[in-house]
Every structure is written in C-alpha cells, then in structure tokens.
Amino acid sequence: MSSPTPDKANSTDAKTSNFLRQIIEHDLAAGTYAQRRWGGSPGDAEHHAVGPLDPAKIRTRFPPEPNGYLHIGHAKSICLNFGLARDYGGVCHLRFDDTNPEKEDTEYVDSIIDAVKWLGFDWNGAPDAPPYQASDYFGFMYRAAEHLVKTGHAYVDEQTAEQMRLSRGDFGKPGVDSPFRARTPAENLARFREMRDGQHEDGSMVLRAKIDMAHPNINLRDPAIYRIRRATHHNTGDTWCIYPMYTFAHPIEDALEQITHSICTLEFEDQRPFYDWLLAQLCQGGLLGAPPPHQYEFARLNLTYVITSKRKLAQLVYDHKVSGWDDPRMPTIVGLRRRGYTAQSLQLFAERIGVTKSDSWIDYSTLEGCLRETLDHSAPRAMAVLDPIKLVLTNWDEVMGQGRVGTLDDCSAPVHPHHPELGQRQFKMGHEVWIERSDYEETPPKGFFRLFPGNKVRLKYGHVI
C-alpha cells in the first residue's frame, strides 16, 4: 500500500498514540494474527488455507455504501484506516458495501474511488487494484445463510414487519417467540430456497437468526439477516431477488478479506455481539478460518456548523438547494476540494483531532487552521482589498518628479516571504490606491497605529505616506 506525499503532518514521529494504535501494537507483539494465511484474494477458509502466511501484518478496510458522495467524516475514516495500515506494515481494503440495490449507483462508486485516490491512498495491496465489492460475495453469503438454517440457527419468519416489531419487546420487556420459530431446519431450508427462487412477494417473509428473544441486547433478539427485494443491482443485475442485511453481510465481508481490525463508528457498538456470534458460528462450521476479525468502535466526527448526514446532504442536492455534490458550500470531499482544501490539509486534520471512544465536537476553525498550515509553506502570496476606500496621494507628482499625475512606480514583493528562491512578484503603484476601510480612522481610538490625519505609515512593499 502506498502512502501519501510525505510531509511534517504525515511523518511517523508526528503520530500521536490512541487506543487503536495500542490495540494493534499489542496484537503485533502477541502474534495474534501471525499465523493467518492469505489466498491472494478474498475467500473462505479452504481458499486461504492453501495460501502462504499473510505478508500484511494487519488488514483494515474502508467500506462505504455507494449511495452518495463522501464527506469530511468519511475523510477521517479513510485517513484512519489507510494510515494505520501504512504505519504498521499492513494493507487497507477499499470495499463497497453494496447490499442495498435501490439506493446505490455507479456514479457514487466512481466518486468514492476518485476521493480515496485524491486523498493519496491506494488499496488492496497494489496500485490501481480494483476495489472489492460486497456483491461479489453474495454467493458465499447465501451459502452461509443456508448453513445457519441447517444447523438450526436461522428460520424463515412470515410475520408482518409490524408484528415482528411488536414481538421484539423493548429494553424493559423481553421479546416473544415468532409462531414460525419452531419450524424444523428442513422446513426452513425449503422455505428459504423458495425465497431465493422468487416464489414469494417482497416483504412477505424474512430469514432471521435464531438467538434469544429475551436477550437484554435487542439486536440479538433474532435479527433479520435476509429479505426479499426485487431490485436491479448495479453490479449483479437481476441475479438475486433476496439480499442480505448489512449486519449479516458486514462481518462476513471482513472475514472473507482476512481483516484483522474492523474499525467502525460508535453506532455499531451494540451490533458487535451479533458480529462475534455470526463469525463464531461460521468458523465452527468450517466456512471461515480462525482467528476471525475483531470489531472496534470510535467516535464519529462532529464538526461545528457542518452537516455530516449523507441523507441530509442528498436532500440538499435533490431539492436543488445547492448546485450539486461538489458545491463549495458542501462538506463533501469534492466540495471541499473545489473550495480549495488540499488532501494534505484533510490528512493533517484527521491526525490532529485524533481517535477517541467518546463523542465530542471539533470547532470548524481547526479544519481551517490545518489548511492554512499546509498551504503556508507552498502558497504564493498575493494581496487583496476586501472593503476598499480610495486613498489619493496629492503630492505624488511633486515627489516622483515625473511631470504628470499618471506616472506609475515599479514595486516588488517576494512570492513567498520565507522562500526567496521563489523570486519576486512585480506590481505598479500610482497616485491613487485602495486600502482597507478598517486601516483608516478620521478620529483614531487609543492604540490605533494605522492611517489617520497627521500620522505616517508604510504601505506594504510600497512607500511611506
């Protein structure tokens, strides 16, 4: 995996420790994943068993759903996952979690690839390697679902969505078993295959994991893992009329790709017990190899004055409140890029705000400061007057001795004050100039050292007036 252009912000000694780095360093020291094998591509236990020891010390992943353009919060996750893989001799995978065909599009796929490349990263262990796609694993996911059905760990439920919601209970009341929960594995397998073959209507039934309807974690009260959905998928077309739920697909994708550290935001913390339960079942059945991936959660980015909800940003676009996903007012990566933000500034921002387990707010000035800091050493200087007031030098002709008011004087200024090797920029000065309105006071307050009647000042890179 390649790293971004090195600079002070990306140097190893500039990295601050956080709980994720401590976990990775502990796992490396303990050899937790040292015996993993890599079959050269994602695959099941048999596929990886015949491969060599994994040359990547760790494997992380960035798994966006291609249903919109990435925003500043995704930039943090990109820099985190790819940065950890870079710093610890690993590989980060770019994977599209495309399990929801109704909201996904190749436009978003292309935009995500462009954003990750622009930020300075490549993926999956080689330059220009194609990203992975969850939809490429649909065959194995179906096989895994059948395994759960055959071993009595999943069943087909034909209740309505409302009935299932009511029977799930709440934090103070245990759930109630579905009337279809007691079906035999053979009956459930036949029914599940009917779902796969398109013999039932959308929404008429789902496949549910069979865990514990009285579990204190509501996410373990027989969660749905497959639903019927007749929709054309941008990658698989009309091959499937049933699609896995994200909570079922996500751990399987990680395991097939031999991910070691699956890093998610805090809203997935309550889903981790199901993540672990599912991988344990599939490892025990020999479908996946051990040790399985482990999920870790961190606090998502909360930036003052900024919306980081993809759904709300999409509404701004679809309601034509902005000119598009790349409107400079948008906090999308393409919007920030169009506004003038650099990849290095977003990398520095992600490093500076760090990684924590608790939610907090980051002031927008921190992001602006990172941009200024990364531009300061390279940006050519220029001057502009934002709130102008005209200044007339009435004795210009007398002092310059040129015999006419229109005479212009040659002046110069450094292209960069700290890099003389960049040379000088030339400009003209005449008897009329524009200055900032705030730089002049008819009756100056105490401590005002700019222009006022009777005072002398030097115009920057110009004359004393």
The pLDDT tens digits for 221-233 are 999 999 999 999 9
C-alpha to C-alpha distance for 81 and 83, rounded to whole angstroms: 5
Are 242 and 199 contacting, i.e. CB atoms less than 8 angstroms apart? no
Share of the chain above pLDDT 90, in %: 86
Q: Are strands 224-228 and 242-244 parallel, antiparallel or unpaired?
A: antiparallel
Q: Output b/e per residue, 10-46; b: 16+ Cβ within 10 A.
A: beeeeeeeeebeebbeebbeeebbeebebbeebbbbe
Distance CA 293, CA 84 (A): 16
Are 169 and 213 spatial neighbours (Cβ–Cβ below 8 Å)? yes
Q: What is the largest CA-CA distance in the chain?
A: 106
pLDDT at 1 over 50: no
DSSP per-residue string spanning 218-275: GGGSS-EEEEE----BTTTBTS-SEEE-HHHHHHHHHHHTT-SEEEEEGGGGGGHHHH
Q: What is the pLDDT of residue 10?
A: 41
Name the pLDDT band for 179 (thresholds 50, 70, 90).
very high
Superfamily of 382-465 according to CATH: Ribosomal Protein L25; Chain P (2.40.240.10)
CA distance 311 to 179: 36
Q: Which residues are catalytic?
A: 65, 300, 310
Q: Which residue has 């079959």 as its token pair?
A: 39
Joined together, the tokens standing for residue 89 give: 């001799």
Secondary structure of residue 49 in the 3-state scheme: helix
- Least reliable range by pLDDT among 17-21, 33-37, 343-347: 17-21
Do the bridges between strand 242-244 and strand 424-429 make them parallel or antiparallel, or are there none, so unpaired? unpaired
pLDDT of 58 strictly over 80? yes
Output the CATH code of domain 139-244.
Answer: 3.90.800.10
Confidence category of residue 105, pLDDT binned at 50, 70, 90: confident
pLDDT tens track for 402-421 = 555 568 899 999 999 999 99
Domain boundaries, the chain: 8-135+246-353, 139-244, 382-465
Residue from 82, 89, 80 nearest 58 by CA: 89
Structure confidence at residue 13 as a pLDDT band (50, 70, 90): very low
Give the count of alpha carbons within 13 A of 379, CB side only. 12
Three-class secondary structure of residue 455 per DSSP:
coil
Transcribe 188-233 into DSSP letters.
HHHHHHHHHTT-S-TTS-EEEE-S-TT-SSGGGSS-EEEEE----B
pTM: 0.85
pLDDT at 114 (0 to 100):
96
Q: Which pLDDT does position 14 carry in this prediction?
A: 52
CA dist., res. 205 & res. 227, Å (int): 7
Residues in the chain: 465
Decide if pLDDT at 17 tops 90. Answer: no
Query: Which of these ranges, 283-292, 308-317, 399-408, has the smallest mean pLDDT?
Result: 399-408
CATH superfamily of 8-135+246-353: HUPs (3.40.50.620)
Model pLDDT for residues 84-97, shown as the tens digit of each residue: 999 999 999 999 99
